[in-house]
Amino acid sequence: MTQTSHILCIGAGYVGGPTMAMIAAKCPHIRVTVVDINEARIAAWNSDDLPIYEPGLDTVVKIARGRNLFFSTDTEAGIRDADIIFVSVNTPTKTFGQGAGRAADLQYWEKTARQILAHSTRNKIVVEKSTLPVRTAQAMERILNSNTAGLRFDVVSNPEFLAEGTAIKDLEDPDRILIGGHETPDGRAARKAIADIYATWVPRERIIESNLWSAELSKLTANAFLAQRISSINSISALCEATEADVDEVAYAIGTDSRIGARFLKASVGFGGSCFKKDILNLVYICRSYGLNEVADYWESVVAINDWQQARFVQTMLANMFNTVAGKRIALFGFAFKADTGDTRESAAIAVARQLIAERAHVVITDPKALDNARHDLGDQAALVEFEPDPYRAAHGAHAIAVMTEWSLYRSLDYARVLASMEQPAFVFDGRNVLDHRRLFEIGFNVFPVGKSPLRHV
């Protein structure tokens, strides 16, 4: 059993909240406090209406909250009391100055380092949970070890590999836990302290220890490889549409090759989420800063294909709806970047909605969990859009439905009823390839999947 008694996590977001809830639920002997500067978010974590939607999260939070899991805005006290501090703040793409649009914005990160320095009165282990550029730990160490009180801070990298929508399953039964630290006696001891926490419920053989830089770089690389698979199959989806091949058949045929594997080969309107784009762009920026321009170009093309796939989806809509959507009601089914989350950051639906608004379409957005976020994402343009929780009402009077998120509920709608309420000819553009295309065609829809021949009456 570990000697750790107090853990603090700075940042109560999609990563900090679920990760700490799982640690607290599995380790009743450890007191876990999660702090955030966002008071509303902390209030929500302390309520029955958690700030993020994640299947199974409520149960895990209920097990530990008030027992050994606490949510608070008192960062200062949290730092003082902690043996181990996980830092799980946001590291978005920089929007200003040098590296704008590429580099990671490390201002929130650096602020936490300075807070830790200001309020610590004894030695601590500081754990990088956020996704960071390789060698960030060096900067963290420099800041922390500038203290004059003789305190020692050991920095460890423990990147998070959970995926939203399956976060609880991923945390409970992870493929691996990665812990990077210095190859020194202190570094190894710090790494072991973190490994001991996870070993409470994760088999030891799945806990990988590495050097600090490998751990930092592995997280960026994992996201780049995952996104690359999606862009690869999406690039082939365009070729399938041009040649009457079927992208699902191609994906199945190549995915059964054990060297390739079946996952992340689903063609779609494009990947979204807060991580893939930002992490690849960050990798691109790092490569350029080391003069590795060919490497940077290679990874940048993964993002370029994704942007192109989103634009291509809208082009398909326009071309098949008689080259105009002006004044036409178009229902977007789903806005979250994927099913089982309310998160809309970088969702393909944002780009599609914006392009349709620019074409003067009357856009109606429906989603079971993401309407508030959708409203926020569209900013000024939200006033031009209708938000409707009920998909039947959203489709009522529409010329077209465009499926943006693979929510299972969209598979089980009564599409005869939907069709009867729509303008004719009625179109379905299935940006996730989740609907029964043949059946929709038979009842009268014109159906446009991704990477397959369209089924049309007009």
Can you state the angle between helices 212-243 and 293-320, rounded to 10 degrees? 40
CB of 108 to ligand NAD, least distance (A): 4
Handedness of CA 417, 422, 425, 429 (dihedral sign): negative
CB of 420 to ligand NAD, least distance (A): 40
Q: According to the binding rule CB under 6 A, does residue 162 interact with ligand NAD?
A: yes
Tokens coding 147: 């203290």
The span from the CA of 84 to the CA of 62, in Å, is 23
Handedness of CA 420, 423, 424, 429 (dihedral sign): negative
The span from the CA of 338 to the CA of 280, in Å, is 19
Whether 448 contacts 427, CB under 8 Å: yes
| Closer of 41 and 437 to ligand NAD (Cβ) | 41
Amino acid, res. 282: N
| Closer of 36 and 359 to ligand NAD (Cβ) | 36
| Closer of 22 and 236 to ligand NAD (Cβ) | 22
Query: What is each CA distance from 326 to 210, 271, 309, 339, in whole angstroms?
Result: 56, 27, 22, 29
| Closer of 111 and 122 to ligand NAD (Cβ) | 111
Residue nearest to ligand NAD (CB): 13
Site track for ligand NAD across 163-202, x = CB under 6 A: -x--------------------------------------
Instruction: Using DSSP, state whether 155 is helix, strand or coil.
Output: strand
Question: For the purposes of burial, counting CB atoms within 10 Å of the CB of 7, is it exposed (0-12), middle (13-18) or buried (19 or more)?
Answer: buried
- Start-to-end CA distance of the chain, whole Å, equals 68
Interacting positions 36-75 with ligand NAD (CB under 6 A): 36-38, 41, 75
Q: Which of 2, 120, 130, 136 binds ligand NAD (CB under 6 A)?
A: 130
Q: Which of 15, 296, 332, 363 binds ligand NAD (CB under 6 A)?
A: 15
Residues forming beta bridges with residue 430, ordered by sequence position: 403, 449
Instruction: Using DSSP, state whether 144 is helix, strand or coil.
Output: helix
Q: Which of 91, 157, 231, 373 binds ligand NAD (CB under 6 A)?
A: 91
Q: Which of 5, 43, 101, 111 binds ligand NAD (CB under 6 A)?
A: 111
CB of 73 to ligand NAD, least distance (A): 8
Q: According to the binding rule CB under 6 A, does residue 89 interact with ligand NAD?
A: yes
Stretch that binds ligand NAD, among 33-41, 169-177, 288-296, 450-458 (CB under 6 A): 33-41
Interacting positions 296-355 with ligand NAD (CB under 6 A): none
Q: According to the binding rule CB under 6 A, does residue 88 interact with ligand NAD?
A: yes
| Closer of 38 and 147 to ligand NAD (Cβ) | 38
Instruction: Using DSSP, state whether 447 is helix, strand or coil.
Output: strand
Size of the site for ligand NAD (CB under 6 A): 27
Whether 402 contacts 372, CB under 8 Å: no
Amino acid, res. 338: K
Q: Which of 136, 157, 274, 446 binds ligand NAD (CB under 6 A)?
A: 274
The span from the CA of 53 to the CA of 342, in Å, is 6
Q: Return all residues near 233 (Cβ < 8 A) that are at least 6 apart.
A: 247, 250, 251, 264, 265, 266, 267, 451
Q: According to the binding rule CB under 6 A, does residue 209 interact with ligand NAD?
A: no
Q: According to the binding rule CB under 6 A, does residue 11 interact with ligand NAD?
A: yes
Catalytic residue list contains 275? yes
Binding site for ligand NAD (CB under 6 A): 10-16, 35-38, 41, 75, 88-91, 108, 111-112, 130-131, 160, 162, 164, 274-275
- List active site positions: 275
